[in-house]
Amino acid sequence: MTFKTDKLVETIARIAPNTYLQALLIIILFYGVAKILDLVVTRYIKRWIEKTAFAMDDKVFDIFHRPVFVSIILFGLSLATERLELTPTIHSLTLSGLKTVAIFLWAGAGLKFMKLLLEYLSHDNNRFKMVQDRTLPLFNNLLMILVMALSIYFVFLAWNIDVTAWMASAGILGLAISFAAKDTLANLFSGVFIVADAPYKMGDFIVLDSGERGEVTNIGIRSTRLLTRDDVEITVPNSIMGNTKITNEAGGPHEKYRIRVQIGVAYGSDIDKVHAVLLDVANTIPEVCTIPEPRVRFRTFGNSSLDHELLCWVEKPVMRGRVIHILNTAIYKRFIKEGIEIPFPQQDIHIK
């Protein structure tokens, strides 16, 4: 490539002995090459890409189309700068400026491409479980930080700035910040691990070891937010979420949640009738799932009652309280109608 470029410059030098005219011819030549290439690519390659069934290639073409066009012109400007008899300072500033434009141009294109790739990977949850719709903001932010850091590093190199001292200063500054913001960093790293491990997701109902229960409304870099049944929002730092026992009521093979209604009947009751009544009540409640079907368990002989438990499922954990209320009300009314006694604790005292 360098050999061909030198040959081209020598040919232009023979045609136009004036350096300024040579620089102008180089700029015109490379601008023409860029326009011809742009015309060919737009007319033929883009049409061929638009006919494919894969939608991502159209977006990739749109991302890199302009950077390639501008890069050819920037390369021509750099060759033209080499032909001009500029002072070393102006020559260095001009080349560094052109390199800076190219760096930020390709950094922007690379960032758009990586975001597009992450969005594409997020649609395949079976193969790329870490990259999902809920984790895209986190990966996009980390990607932006990485691209910006690399861009600044290459810009320093383009301007012949020694980055060793800067990196040493950044290391000392980072050490000081790490000590001052250790809690924030702990929350940050815990947030990354939560996203990677995925013990819960948006919309899940979770119960913390400390007793808080609610729906996950936001998983941020610093904290996780829960909305309780009292419509109270709880913000829990990710460092705590990463080091506590969490019960995910929406986890498992499905989101259905099993509720338990404990009921005691008097000794001497017809327990077959009790079982039939409890199942009939559960089957008449629309909110109770038919699959798995409700069931009754005779748990124990209590001090004052025969203790039973009605087990049934609801579609979501959020329905637990309301359905238990409906079941308790329906069971109480039905027991009164069927003449089934619900005893209360009694004690007989014998005095000698």
Query: Which contacts qualify for 149-156: CB closer than 8 Å, 24 or more apart?
Result: 150/107, 151/103, 151/104, 151/107, 154/103, 155/99, 155/100, 155/103, 155/104
Are 147 and 15 within one domain? yes
pLDDT, residue 11, reads 75
Ranges 140-154, 161-175, 176-190, most confident: 140-154
Q: Of 175, 208, 237, which residue sits at a domain end?
A: 175
Does residue 128 sit in the same domain as residue 16? yes
Q: For residue 286, what are the domain limits?
A: 257-338
What are 234-266's pLDDT values in tens digits? 999 988 888 889 999 887 777 888 999 999 999
pLDDT at 307: 96
More confident residue, 224 or 163: 224
Q: Residue 216: what are its φ and ψ, rounded to 5°? A: -75, 115
Q: Does 140 share its domain with 283? A: no
Q: Are residues 152 and 226 in the same domain?
A: no
Domain finish residue from 248, 274, 289? 248
Q: Is residue 185 part of a domain?
A: no
Sheet holding 205-208, edge to edge: 233-237, 223-227, 213-219, 205-208, 246-248
Decide: residue 249, CB within 10 A, 0-12 exposed, 13-18 middle, 19+ buried: buried
Residue 188 in domain: no
Q: Are residues 275 and 130 in the same domain?
A: no
Q: In 220-294, which ranges are E strands?
A: 223-227, 233-237, 246-248, 257-265
Task: Answer yes or no: do 139 and 205 share one domain.
Answer: no
C-alpha to C-alpha distance for 345 and 340, rounded to whole angstroms: 16
Output the pLDDT for position 201. 83
**Is 189 part of any domain?**
no
Mean pLDDT, the chain, whole residue set: 85
286 touches 316 (CB < 8 A): no
Question: Is residue 128 assigned to a domain?
Answer: yes
Q: How many domains is the chain built from?
A: 3
pLDDT category at 3 given cuts 50, 70, 90 is low
> Averaged over 293-299, what is the pLDDT?
96
Same domain flag for 25 and 167: yes
Q: What is the CATH number of the domain that holds 219?
A: 2.30.30.60
Distance CA 15, CA 21 (A): 10
What distance in Å separates the CA atoms of residue 222 and residue 282, rounded to the nearest whole number?
44
Indicate whether 86 and 202 sit together in one domain.
Answer: no
Whether the predicted pLDDT of 206 surpasses 70 = yes
Q: Is residue 184 part of a domain?
A: no
Are residues 291 and 212 located together in one domain of the fold?
no
For residues 263 and 296, what is the distance between their CA atoms, to the nearest angstrom?
A: 10
Count of other CB atoms within 10 angstroms of residue 169: 10
The gap between the terminal CA atoms of the chain, to the nearest Å, is 116
Any domain includes 345: no
Average pLDDT over residues 223-243: 89
The answer to whether residues 139 and 88 belong to one domain is yes
Mean pLDDT along residues 181-191: 72
Task: Flag the least confident range among 71-80, 116-125, 182-191, 216-225.
Answer: 182-191
40 and 130 belong to one structural domain: yes
pLDDT at position 253 is 77
Cα separation, 249 vs 204, whole angstroms = 7
Give the end of a domain, one of 123, 142, 175.
175
pLDDT category, 312, cuts 50, 70, 90? very high
Residue 344 lies in a domain: no
**Spatial CA neighbour of 62 closest among 72, 76, 49:** 49
Residue pLDDT, tens place only, 127-159:
666 676 666 766 777 788 889 989 998 998 899
The model's pTM? 0.60
Q: Does 133 lie in the same domain as 219?
A: no
CATH code, 297: 3.30.70.100
* Residue 347 within any structural domain of the chain: no
